[in-house]
C-alpha cells in the first residue's frame, strides 16, 4: 500500500519485526520508549545509537523534544541519516517532530508498535508535542519515508493498550464504515484476533483515502478523523495527560460527541446508544470522569486547534458511518449536552 502526499509517496509495508529491523539503513538513529527498551532494545538494532524516552504521554513534551535534538547533535547526526521512531503514538509524534525540525528535516522511518499507532498516528504525517494548555499544540506535517507494520508485536501489548487502540479502529467505523461496526459488534476484537491484520489494512486504507484528499487538514475532510478527539483531548489535558489513555479518552469523547450530535438534531435518536453499546462491548469507557465538569471541558475544548473563536468546531456523526466537521457550535448547547450525559 502507498500513501501519496504533496512531495511524493511512501509505502506502508506489512511485515515482521525481524524484516523491518534489517531494512533500517546503517547509520540510522533510533528513538524508543522505556517499556519497549525492556522488551526489544537488545534485539532491535544494538548497532545503532538509541535514545530511550520514558514511556507515557507526558513524554510528548518540550523537554523530551529538546533532549532528542541535543542527543542527535551531540552524536553527529547528518542530514542524510534516518531517524527511526520505534514505538507507539507518543514516540511517533515526538521523534517525528524531532525529525521534522533537526537540520530542517531528516528522513523518518515509522515502526509503530501499538494498535493505535498502526491504524492512525504513524500514517498521514502529523507529528508534534503537547503543551500544558493543550494536546498537539505544537507540531508539523512530516511524511515518513516508510512505515513498517509488524502485527506480531501486538501479541505482547498490555491488554489496556490494545483495548485503547480499538477505539481508533471503531472510530473509522463510526465515521465512514458501518459494515465494520456491524461485524465488530457481532464479535468484539480481542488481542491475538485472527482478523487483526486485515482490520489494520482496512483502517489504513480509510486513512489513506482521507489524507490523500486533505493532507494539510484544510477542507474539513481530514478533521472527521477527529471524531471523539475534541472532547478526548480536553479530558487528557484536564487530567494532565496522566489519567485515561488517549484511546480511552477518545472513546469517552465519541460517546459524548454522539450525544452532542443527537441533541443538535444532526444524528437520529439512538445513535449515541449504539455507539456506547459498541464501545462497551469492547471494554472501552464511555462516561466522562466525575471530577470533570462540563464547563471545564468546554473551556479546554476551546483551545483545540480547530476552534475558530465563534463557538466550537466539532466533527459530528450524522448517524453510524457518516461524519462532518461542524463549526460555530454553540458553547451553551455543548455544556447542556454534557450535563445531560453526566446525569444519565
Ligand atoms: N489523527 C488524525 C489525523 O491524522 O488527522
- pLDDT band (50, 70, 90) for residue 156: confident
Q: What is the pLDDT, as a whole number, of residue 257?
A: 97
**What would the grid cell of residue 339 be?**
450535563
Q: What is the pLDDT, as a whole number, of residue 138?
A: 97
Do residue 189 and residue 311 come from a single domain?
yes
Do residue 330 and residue 206 come from a single domain?
yes
125 Cα: distance to centroid of ligand 1 (angstroms)? 8
39 Cα: distance to centroid of ligand 1 (angstroms)? 28
Domain-terminating residue out of 96, 123, 156? 156
Spatial separation of the C-alpha atoms in residues 340 and 203, rounded to whole Å:
32
Q: What percent of the chain has pLDDT over 70?
A: 98
- Helix, strand, coil tally for the chain in percent (to 5): 50, 20, 35
Do residue 29 and residue 126 come from a single domain?
yes
Q: Which residues line ligand 1 (CB under 6 A)?
A: 120-121, 124, 126, 222, 225-226
291 Cα: distance to centroid of ligand 1 (angstroms)? 28
Do residue 56 and residue 147 come from a single domain?
yes
Residue range 103-126, pLDDT digits in tens: 999 999 999 999 999 999 999 999
Give all strands (DSSP E) within 91-133, no chain letters: 108-112, 126-131
Q: How many folded domains does the chain comprise? A: 2
CATH number at residue 177: 1.20.1090.10
Residue range 275-313, pLDDT digits in tens: 999 999 999 999 999 999 999 999 999 987 777 778 899
**What would the grid cell of residue 209 be?**
483515502
Q: Which residues contact 198 (CB under 8 A, 6 or more apart)?
A: none
Residue range 23-45, pLDDT digits in tens: 999 999 999 998 877 776 556 78
Q: What is the pLDDT, as a whole number, of residue 123?
A: 96
- Report the chain's C-alpha Rg in angstroms: 19
Whether 270 is covered by a domain: the verdict is yes
Whether 161 is covered by a domain: the verdict is no
Q: What is the pLDDT, as a whole number, of residue 41?
A: 55
Do residue 138 and residue 66 come from a single domain?
yes
Q: Contact at 8 Å (CB) between 263 and 341?
A: no
Domain-terminating residue out of 156, 185, 212? 156
Do residue 15 and residue 151 come from a single domain?
yes
Phi, psi of 228 (to 5 degrees): 85, -15
Do residue 181 and residue 280 come from a single domain?
yes
Whether 317 is covered by a domain: the verdict is yes
Angle at 85 between CA 84 and CA 87, to 5 degrees: 140
Q: Give helix then strand counts, H and E, for the chain.
A: 13, 11
Q: What is the pLDDT, as a whole number, of residue 42?
A: 58
Query: Region 82-110: what's the mean pLDDT?
Result: 97
- How many C-beta atoms surround the C-beta of residue 271 within 10 A? 20
Q: Which atom of ligand 1 is nearest to the CA of 125?
A: 4
43 Cα: distance to centroid of ligand 1 (angstroms)? 31
Q: Which atom of ligand 1 is nearest to the CA of 120?
A: 1
Q: Whose CA is nearest to atom 2 of ligand 1?
A: 225
Task: Report the relative pairing of strands 83-87 and 108-112 from DSSP bridges.
Answer: parallel
Q: Which residues contact 269 (CB under 8 A, 6 or more apart)?
A: 262
Query: Region 316-335: what's the mean pLDDT?
Result: 95
Task: Say yes or no to pLDDT of 95 above 90.
Answer: yes
In 3-state terms, what secondary structure has residue 296?
Answer: helix
336 or 156, higher pLDDT: 336
223 Cα: distance to centroid of ligand 1 (angstroms)? 7
Beta-bridged to residue 315, according to DSSP, are 325
**Residue-averaged pLDDT of the chain:** 94
Whether 134 is covered by a domain: the verdict is yes
pTM equals: 0.94
Domain-terminating residue out of 156, 185, 210? 156
Do residue 244 and residue 119 come from a single domain?
no
Q: What percent of the chain has pLDDT over 90?
A: 88
Do residue 189 and residue 234 come from a single domain?
yes
Q: Which atom of ligand 1 is nearest to the CA of 121?
A: 1
271 Cα: distance to centroid of ligand 1 (angstroms)? 23
Residue range 164-212, pLDDT digits in tens: 999 999 999 999 999 999 999 989 999 889 999 999 999 999 999 999 9
Q: Which atom of ligand 1 is nearest to the CA of 210?
A: 5
Phi, psi of 29 (to 5 degrees): -120, 140
Instruction: Tell me the residue range of the domain where 144 lies.
Output: 2-156
| Of 120, 122, 123, 125, best ligand 1 pocket probe by most atoms within 8 Å of the beta carbon | 120
Burial of 46 (0-12, 13-18, 19+ CB in 10 A): exposed
Do residue 245 and residue 133 come from a single domain?
no
| Of 114, 123, 124, best ligand 1 pocket probe by most atoms within 8 Å of the beta carbon | 124
Task: Say yes or no to pLDDT of 261 above 80.
Answer: yes
Amino acid at each position: 500500500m502507498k500513501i501519496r502526499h504533496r512531495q511524493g509517496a511512501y509505502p506502508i509495508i506489512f511485515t515482521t519485526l525481524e524484516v523491518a529491523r534489517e531494512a533500517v539503513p546503517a547509520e540510522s538513529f533510533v528513538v524508543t520508549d522505556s517499556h519497549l527498551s525492556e522488551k526489544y532494545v537488545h534485539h532491535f538494532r544494538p548497532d545503532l545509537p538509541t535514545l530511550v524516552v520514558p514511556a507515557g504521554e507526558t513524554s510528548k513534551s518540550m523537554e523530551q523534544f529538546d533532549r532528542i535534538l541535543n542527543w542527535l547533535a551531540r552524536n553527529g547526526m547528518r542530514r542524510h541519516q534516518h531517524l527511526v521512531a520505534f514505538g507507539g503514538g507518543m514516540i511517533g509524534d515526538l521523534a517525528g517532530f524531532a525529525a521534522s525540525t533537526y537540520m530542517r528535516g531528516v528522513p523518518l522511518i515509522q515502526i509503530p508498535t501499538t494498535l493505535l499507532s498502526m491504524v492512525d498516528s504513524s500514517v498521514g504525517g502529523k507529528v508534534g508535542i503537547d503543551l500544558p494548555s493543550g494536546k498537539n499544540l505544537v507540531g508539523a506535517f512530516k511524511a515518513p519515508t516508510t512505515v513498517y507494520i509488524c502485527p506480531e508485536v501486538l501479541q505482547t501489548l498490555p491488554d489496556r493498550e490494545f483495548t485503547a487502540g480499538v477505539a481508533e479502529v471503531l472510530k473509522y467505523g463510526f465515521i465512514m464504515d458501518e459494515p465494520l461496526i456491524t461485524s465488530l459488534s457481532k464479535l468484539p476484537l480481542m488481542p491475538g484476533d485472527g482478523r487483526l491484520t486485515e482490520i489494520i489494512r482496512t483502517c489504513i486504507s480509510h486513512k489513506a483515502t482521507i489524507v490523500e484528499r486533505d493532507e494539510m487538514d484544510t477542507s474539513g475532510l481530514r478533521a472527521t478523523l477527529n471524531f471523539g478527539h475534541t472532547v478526548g483531548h480536553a479530558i487528557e489535558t484536564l487530567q494532565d495527560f496522566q489519567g485515561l489513555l488517549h484511546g480511552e479518552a477518545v472513546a469517552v469523547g465519541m460517546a459524548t460527541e454522539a450525544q452532542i450530535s443527537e441533541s443538535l438534531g444532526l444524528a437520529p435518536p439512538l445513535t449515541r446508544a449504539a455507539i456506547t453499546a459498541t464501545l462497551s462491548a469492547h471494554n472501552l469507557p464511555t462516561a466522562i470522569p466525575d471530577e470533570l465538569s462540563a464547563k471545564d471541558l468546554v473551556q479546554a475544548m476551546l483551545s483545540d486547534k480547530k476552534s475558530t473563536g465563534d463557538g466550537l468546531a466539532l466533527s459530528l456523526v450524522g448517524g453510524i458511518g457518516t461524519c462532518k466537521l461542524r463549526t460555530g457550535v454553540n458553547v451553551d448547547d455543548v455544556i447542556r449536552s454534557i450535563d445531560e450525559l453526566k446525569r444519565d
